Amino acid sequence: MKTEILHAAAEGALREVGLRKTAQRLAVLNILNSADSPLTANDIFQRLGSPQKINRVTVYRILSSYTRKGMIREFESRRGLHYYERANAFSPSHPHFICRACGRMICMTSFVLSEPLQKMIDQQGISIEHISISGLCRLCRCNNP
């Protein structure tokens, strides 16, 4: 298995940003590294196995420090849930779709803003950090009338 390699990479990432290497941090980072769509704190907590060896609060704090260090991106959606995804060279920032019924999140291809919108953004002096599209996914569109 490549577990050791991944582990080593995670250690390096921590050292790079000046965070101490702890079992908890490595566990959370590995989960984020191998996720294929953004996760909530609870998703991560669940994946730590049960009974959880890491306290819920610790997960929150780890995610918070990772965000501060720019290792992950954070965005909110659906009832104030925070979602997190690894931020690195291989994963440029992109919009997300989130289903209001089931909460499933889908990563979207980046897209160009229309001319009038871009104009408005420039005028307002706004800086865009995240675009989130909400609605119903295919499945929920059929199930929910």
Question: Which positions lie near DNA, rule CB under 7 A?
Answer: 19-25, 40-42, 53-58, 60-62, 64-65, 79-82
Smallest CA-to-CA distance from 63 within 51, 53, 75 is with 75
Cβ closest to its own copies, residue 33 vs residue 67: 67
Min dist. Cβ of residue 79 to its own copies (A): 5
Query: Among its own copies, DNA, none, what binds residue 40 when CB lies within 5 to 8 Å by partner kind?
Result: DNA
Smallest CA-to-CA distance from 62 within 104, 17, 103, 9 is with 17
Say what the alpha-carbon torsion angle 120, 89, 75, 56 is, to the nearest 10 degrees. -170
- Interface residue with its own copies among 43, 95, 102, 103 (CB under 8 A) is 95
Query: Among its own copies, DNA, none, what binds residue 25 when CB lies within 5 to 8 Å by partner kind?
Result: DNA
Give the CA angle between residues 7, 20, 61 to the nearest 5°.
95
Residue owning tokens 């819920």: 56
SS3 78: coil
Cβ closest to its own copies, residue 17 vs residue 120: 120
- In the complex, which residues of this chain contact its own copies (CB under 8 A)? 75-81, 95, 97, 100, 106, 108-109, 111-114, 116-117, 120-121, 124-138, 141
